[in-house]
Structures are given as C-alpha cells and as structure tokens.
Amino acid sequence: MSESPQVGPSTPPTKKKFFDGLAPWQVVLSVLPLGLLFIGGAIGGALGALGMVTNVKIAKTQLPTAGKVAAMLGVGLAAAVVFLVVAGLLSNALNG
C-alpha cells in the first residue's frame, strides 16, 4: 500500500482586493458610475456596477493618465445615457 503524501502547514490563500494597485483618483473615478444606484434603483445599480468593473479594468491598463481619465469618464457618461434610454423605454412601455 502506498502512503499518503505528507502535507505541511498550509498558509491561507491571500485574497486580492478589487482596488489593489489603484491610485485614489482612479478609485474615485471607478466608483463614480455607482451613483446611478441612488437615482435608478436596481437598473441603475446594475448599470453602475458594470461601469465600475469596466473602469477598474481601464485603470489597470497601460494607457497614459489622460487616456485613462477620458475613458473612465466616458464609461460613466455611457452608463448614464444607457440608464436614461432604458428608463425611458420602460416608462413608455408601462404607461402606454
């Protein structure tokens, strides 16, 4: 019979935080789309969360700072426009 391998003390895996490696201004611009949660409920929250994840991915790229700022602000603006379009379509559909 073969013996089971000896397992030594294991160290718990370190969790990587979502905002690790980001400058404070990048964190602020990343969470900016979450403001839709307060004005748009579940739809705004879902779009805001999608925008936040996208902004974090942009912040971790090798773009120059000005490019990152422009792209992250564009994501926030796009999330707001999509929210307004979805809200308008739902309002029109429900109110006839």
Please write down the HEC assignment for all residues of the chain. CCCCCCCCCCCCCCCCCCCCCCCHHHHHHHHHHHHHHHHHHHHHHHHHHHHHHHHHHHHCCCCCHHHHHHHHHHHHHHHHHHHHHHHHHHHHHHHC
Q: What confidence tens digit (pLDDT) does each residue in 33-58 have?
A: 999 999 988 999 999 999 999 999 99
Provide the whole-model pTM.
Answer: 0.78
Query: What would the mean pLDDT of 1-6 be, rounded to a whole number?
Result: 65
pLDDT of residue 8: 62
pLDDT band at 1 (very low <50, low <70, confident <90, very high): low
pLDDT of residue 27: 92
Among residues of the chain, what percentage have pLDDT more than 90? Answer: 72
